[in-house]
Amino acid sequence: MILYRRRFQMNSFLENSRIRLRPIEEKDLSTLYVWRNEHDFISLFSPHRNVINYEKFIVEHKRDTDKSRHMQFIAESVRRKVSIGMTYSYDISLTDGYVFLGGYTPRAFRRNGYGAIGMSMVILYLFRFFPLHKIYFEVFEYNVPSISMLQNFGFVEEGRFKGHRFYDGNRYDVLRFALYRNKMDKINSLLLRIGQSSQKT
């Protein structure tokens, strides 16, 4: 009974009427490969710079997973039953109580609010089931939409790494934002508001 209740609680955090978050499976690798090579992914979200073939992607994905990934999820549209993005946590420290969060929503799905909804769900899940004091999210200074979303969520800038990102012949700052556990109520309210105001799937 306890195991059933815990599973129900976990599912309630990772699924709502619009999207479902589930662990990444082998069948998702071809989709992840396409996303990994998209210009938006490389320019806005990735430390990688080059387009690679599928074989190299498999090696890269396994290396990243084994090295630092904590949890990885595919976001699916409940109604359309298509993959609409992915999110992952990495470099977790249960001793100090923090974890980093990252993710990607392809351009075609961004205007539907999927990225914000999925991120809200993962944040609530991480704070609910892990003894975390805060969650970090790093972003390049020119990624204005992501910075705006983080600030709306209640993330605060904790660090700025000057010229840390070299891209397209120029140097840019990397900003590290943090969200604290005491902001959970705000995230929950934001999730409800996003779900009500955004377009139906």
SS3 111: coil
Q: How far apart are CA 181 and CA 109, in angstroms?
A: 28
Total-model pTM: 0.87
- The pLDDT-based confidence of 11 (bands split at 50, 70, 90) is low
Burial category of 67 from C-beta neighbours within 10 Å (exposed 0-12, middle 13-18, buried 19 and up): exposed
Confirm or reject CATH 3.40.630.30 for domain 2-197, answering yes or no.
yes
CB half-sphere exposure, 75, CA atoms < 13 A: 27
- The pLDDT-based confidence of 2 (bands split at 50, 70, 90) is very low
Q: Bridge-partner residues for 156, per DSSP?
A: 178
Q: Worst-scoring range by mean pLDDT, 37-41, 95-99, 107-111, 148-152?
A: 107-111
Amino acid at site 49: R
pLDDT value for 201: 38
Q: How far apart are CA 43 and CA 57, in angstroms?
A: 17
Burial category of 77 from C-beta neighbours within 10 Å (exposed 0-12, middle 13-18, buried 19 and up): middle
- Residues 149, 103: contact at Cβ < 8 Å? no
